[in-house]
Amino acid sequence: MAPGDRVMMGHMSNAFTTRVLNIVSGTEETVVDLTHDCESFLREVADGRDGLLNVFVPHATAGIAVIETGAGSDSDLLAALHTLLPSDDRWQHRHGTPGHGRDHVLPALVPPHATLPVLGGRLELGTWQSVCLVDTNISNVNRQVRLSFLG
C-alpha cells in the first residue's frame, strides 16, 4: 500500500481501501483518462477480489464520465457541453472567468462519481469504455480524484 492509503476491515471479509489522485488538469477544458490510474490502484489493493470501485471528484465544477476516448468522443463531449452549457453571461453564478456559472451546472449532467464493477481484481469495462475526469473549469488546474475499492 502507498502512504495515505487506509484499510478498514468490516465484520465480514470485506475491505475498504481508498486513495486520492492529484491531477493537474490544465488551463483548457479537458477530459483526462483515469483508466490506467484505476487499474493500477486495483492491482495494488484488490488482491484478485470481486467488488466495486467508486471514483469520486470532490469539486463543484468537475465530473466523472465513462466514455470512449481517443477516437474523438472526448472532444465531442466537450463540444456537446458547450452547446448545452455555453460560456456566456446567462448564469447567475458569476464569480471567476466569464461563463464560469456553467462549470457549476456541469455536475448535474456529468456526475461527480461513478461506481464500477471489479471482477477478479480487474476493472470490468466495455471494450471502448474509459473512466475520465471531465473538467471545464479553466481556473482550477489542480484536481483531486478519490478512488475507493470495496471488496
Burial of 125 (0-12, 13-18, 19+ CB in 10 A): middle
Under 8 Å between Cβ of 19 and 29: no
**Radius of gyration of the CA atoms of the chain, in A:** 17
The pLDDT profile of the chain, 151 residues, written as one tens digit per residue, is 555 454 443 333 458 999 999 999 989 999 999 999 999 999 999 999 999 999 999 999 999 999 999 889 999 999 999 999 988 888 887 777 777 889 899 999 999 999 999 999 999 999 999 999 999 999 889 999 999 999 9
Domains in the chain: ranges and CATH: 6-76+104-150 (2.60.120.460)
Reported pTM: 0.87
- Report the alpha-carbon distance of residue 8 to residue 76 in Å, rounded: 40
- Report the alpha-carbon distance of residue 151 to residue 142 in Å, rounded: 30
Under 8 Å between Cβ of 29 and 12: no
